[in-house]
Chain A
Amino acid sequence: MKLIQILDENGKYKADDLADIKEQEIRKMYRLMILTRLWNDKAMSLQRQGRLGTLASVRGQEASNVGMALALQAGDWFVPAFREYGSLFTLGISMKNQYRYWGGDERGNYIPEDKRVLPTCITVGAHLCHAAGMAVAAKTRGEKSMILSSSGDGSTSQGDFHESLNLAGLWKLPVVFVIQNNHWAISVPVEKQTATKTLAEKAAAYAIDGLRVDGNDVFAVYKTVKERADIARNEFKPALIELVTYRMGDHTTADDATRYRKPDLLKTWEKRDPIERVKKYLMKELDWSEEKDKELVEECTKEVEQAVKEYENSDMPEPETMFDYMYNEMPWHLKEQLEEVKELTQAGGKK
Chain B
Amino acid sequence: MYEKDFLKQLFHKIYTIRIFETECIKLYRQGLIRGYFHPYVGEEATAVGVCSALAEDDYIISTHRGHGHCIARGAQIDRMVAELLGKKTGYCSGLGGSMHIADVQAGNLGANGIVGGGIPIGVGAALGISIRKEKKVVAIFFSDGAANNGVFAESLNLAAIWNLPAIFLLENNHYAVSTPIEQSSRNQNLYERATGYGVHALAVDGNNVIEVFEQTKDARQMCIKGKGPVLIEAKTYRHGGHHVNDPGAYMPKDRLDYFKSKDPVTIAKKHLKEQGKMSESEIEKIEKEVETTMERAIDFAKESPELSFAEFNQMVMGY
Residues of A within 8 A of B (CB): 157-163, 166, 169-170, 192-197, 201-208
Contact = CB atoms under 8 A, between A and B. Distances in A.
Interface in B124-150: 148-150
Interface string B201-234: 0000000000000000000000000000000000
A166 B196 contact: no
A196 B148 contact: no
Contact of B157 (A157, A169, A197): A157
Interface of chain A: mostly helix, strand, loop or mixed? helix
B154 A159 contact: yes
A166 to B, nearest CB: 6
Given A194-B198, A195-B160, A207 B153 contact: no
A337 to B, nearest CB: 33
B160 A205 contact: no
B187 interface: yes
B242 interface: no
A195 B187 contact: no
Contact of B161 (A160, A162, A192, A201): A192
25 contacts: A157-B153, A158-B154, A159-B152, A161-B150, A162-B149, A163-B153, A169-B185, A170-B184, A170-B185, A193-B157, A193-B161, A194-B160, A194-B197, A195-B157, A195-B197, A196-B196, A196-B198, A202-B196, A202-B197, A205-B192, A205-B195, A205-B196, A206-B186, A206-B193, A207-B187
A139 to B, nearest CB: 15
B150 A159 contact: yes
Interface of chain B: mostly helix, strand, loop or mixed? helix
Contacts of B152: 159, 162
The 6 A-B pairs at the shortest CB distance, nearest first, are namely A159-B150, A162-B153, A195-B198, A205-B196, A195-B160, A205-B193
A4 to B, nearest CB: 20
B199 interface: yes
Contact of B149 (A158, A163, A194, A204): A163
Contacts of A193: 157, 161
A207 B183 CA distance: 14
Contacts of A195: 157, 160-161, 197-199
Nearest to A162: B153
B151 interface: yes
Given A195-B197, A205-B192, A205-B197, 15 more contacts: A158-B153, A158-B154, A160-B150, A161-B150, A163-B153, A166-B186, A193-B157, A193-B161, A194-B160, A195-B198, A196-B197, A201-B196, A202-B196, A205-B195, A207-B187
